[in-house]
Amino acid sequence: MRKSSRALTFLALASLPFAALAEVPVVDNNAGYGGSYPPAGYGTTGAAYAGTGAPAAPVSAQGELFMQLQQMQEEITRLRGMLEEQQYEVQRLKQESLERYQDLDRRLSGGAAAGAPATQNSPAAGTPAANGAPAAPAQQPAASSEPGDPAKEKLYYDAAFDLIKAKDFDKASQAFNAFLRKYPNSQYAGNAQYWLGEVNLAKGDLPGASQAFARVGQAYPQHPKVPDSLYKLADVEQRLGNTAKAKTILQQVVTQFPGSSAAQLAQRDLQRLP
């Protein structure tokens, strides 16, 4: 009997630890739920509710990066297009400049500049202007500031022309302007006026070239350079975008100076213009 009591006591004491362990709740200390389980904002599926401030970070970041890459590609394409346009414009300007220099060299090689001076006639009333309409009598050049000296005038003119050969167009422009101020009635004045237009054209001074070429026909209407000056004037007007005015001048060259080289070039340009 006493042995049976001891056995029962031993079994009761042995079962106490297991009962105590069964009553202790299991808690995950790493969950960080702050004492509430399941955590707020989660349903039976474990997915976050929209609007809880927990965006799907990987998907959002990838979408934003994709949009940024698309925008960068579009910007690169646009910049490439602008670069190609600028390269084309630079090439066009280089080609135009080269053509002007080549044309100038051909004229210099042909000895057109320093040829025999032509007789300068005073402008007459009714002389056609560059636009084809009769013009009022052109104003006579201002009287020379010193007596005419053909030898001195030729020396001055040749010095200015040598600056063209040296491709020093800025100084050549200044020299021809000075010559025309000093010797407006010189036998070389018509040539000087024409070459002033060529120099300004070579410099890219289109307004200055237009004024100089137009002045040849206005101040020296009987000068042999008038057909060439009108043709060059039409070329300048085309470069300035005045196509209608250029066509009118070209037609004037063909009508008034048939058979001249300027008329042949004018006829060719008229066929090319729209």
Is residue 192 one of the residues assigned to a domain?
Answer: yes
Q: Is the dihedral of CA 159, 162, 163, 169 positive or negative?
A: positive
Which residues are within 8 A (CB) of 220 and not within 5 positions of it... i.e. 6 or more apart?
A: 120, 121, 123, 189, 190, 193, 226
> Residue 246: inside a domain, yes or no?
no
Query: Tens place of pLDDT for every residue, the chain, 274 residues?
Result: 555 556 555 555 555 554 444 455 555 555 444 555 455 544 444 444 444 555 555 557 888 888 888 888 888 888 877 777 777 666 655 555 555 555 655 555 555 444 445 444 433 333 444 444 434 334 444 444 556 788 899 999 999 999 999 999 999 999 999 999 999 999 999 999 999 999 999 999 999 999 999 999 999 999 999 999 999 999 999 999 999 999 999 999 999 999 999 999 999 999 998 8
How many structural domains are present in the chain? 1
Measured distance CA(166)–CA(19) in Å, rounded: 116
- Asked if residue 256 is part of any domain, the answer here is no
- What is residue 61's predicted lDDT score, i.e. its pLDDT? 82
Does residue 75 lie in a domain region?
no
Decide if 194 contacts 179 (C-beta within 8 A): no
- The boundaries of the domain holding residue 206 are 149-223
Q: Is the pTM of this model over 0.85?
A: no
CATH number of the domain to which 169 belongs:
1.25.40.10
162, part of any domain = yes
Sign of the torsion angle spanned by Cα atoms 169, 174, 177, 178 = negative
Question: Considering the domain boundaries, does residue 28 fall inside one?
Answer: no
Residue 19 lies in a domain: no
Residue 74 included in any domain: no
